[in-house]
Structure 1
């Protein structure tokens, strides 16, 4: 009888530990640490956190893999901006392998299609000559994402990025990009995905830049002020973009 009770208690403890482990991932999903690294421009810390996430993420758990992909995505974009192309290609390959594996089990997931289009666009960022044939392929996946879910956050971000960075001669339109960024931001806020979310603040920053690029200077100013109010100590906006905007346009 005592042995039976001991086994029962042991099984209960194991079940609780398993649940706590799963809860721990969702509550400690590296988001706060990634945000802090991003807000201070500490990409070395981002890399360290990302590598821990990479080690612990369950290959068969869609949400954990999507989270890892978001960190690869941010880091790859930074690498390309820093012209560290060889390393960027490593993370493009890693990400595309994850996306293709996940699409086998989730063939109608709009976020995966958005990421697939984004990583093709990253390749264009490394080799501009590939834009002629990779550009339409990237847009095909991004459009597929929005066909599956017009409100999809990542799909709207990528459509906005495509409209912003694509030359006008090839269909780019910075004013249209604003509409997609606003739609993504609205979805972030509606779903409560704002606090310490690096991708939300990044999209807000992209919106501010798009406003200025389309001569909507007051809206750009208000956008940056909202960022500073919600996310104090975000260095890129607080120390660079916002004061530069004020100086360029003689604003106070």
Structure 2
């Protein structure tokens, strides 16, 4: 009985400490975001990337932070950095996909990462663009309450040339 109590208490303490750790990361990322401090954002991503014992939930958070940083790099024409972090994010997404954690978000990020790869190399657009749209559609079907799938679908529609089926009108819907 005493041993069972100890195990339960240790498990609860571990869970609380992991929650606090995750909450601290969120707070630090939030501060980096509101202060437009992308150097701090990058450092936080690097610290999280080095953690060996990431839960699926923390891994999904990391992918989201990487998603934001990759977009920032592309926006600021830092293709080398964007490619590097895109590869890390794709590896994390692959790991998360194996655990079947939050499939709707996995497909939404796949859509986004296809879009990023087009942003890094426009010649990929005819081949990768349809994959991006398809992944966004799968995300929306799996969870109609997950806004990320809809955002990726809108991005694909907005940036895709009309000749290939893109529609700014459809993107706004």
Tell me the TM-score normalised to structure 2 length.
0.86
Distance 1:35 1:107 in 2: 24
1:50 aligns with 2:45: yes
Match of 2:87 in 1: 93
After superposition, the Cα gap between the structure-2 partners of 1:90 and 1:166, relative to the gap in structure 1 and judged at 3 Å, is same
CA–CA separation in structure 2 for the residues paired with 1:167 and 1:160: 13
Tell which structure's C-alpha radius of gyration is larger.
1
SS at match of 2:82: helix
Matched pairs, number: 173
Cα distance between partner residues in 1 of 2:8 and 2:99: 32
- 1:165 paired with 2:159, answer yes
Structure 1: runs of 5+ lacking an equivalent: 180-252
Quote the offset at 1:20 in angstroms: 2.1
TM-score, structure 1 normalization: 0.61
Give the gaps of 5 or more residues in structure 2. Answer: none
Q: Secondary structure at the match of 1:163?
A: helix
State the Cα RMSD in Å.
Answer: 2.4
> Given the alignment of the two structures, is residue 14 of structure 1 paired with residue 10 of structure 2, yes or no?
yes
* Residue of structure 1 in register with 2:150 after alignment: 156
Cα displacement string for residues 133-192 of structure 1 (whole angstroms, at most 9, x for unaligned residues): 11111112111111212222210111121122222222222232222xxxxxxxxxxxxx
Do 1:79 and 1:85's aligned partners in 2 also have CA atoms closer than 8 Å?
A: yes
Cα deviation, residue 92, structure 1: 1.2
* Among candidates 18, 23, 26, match of residue 27 of structure 1: 23
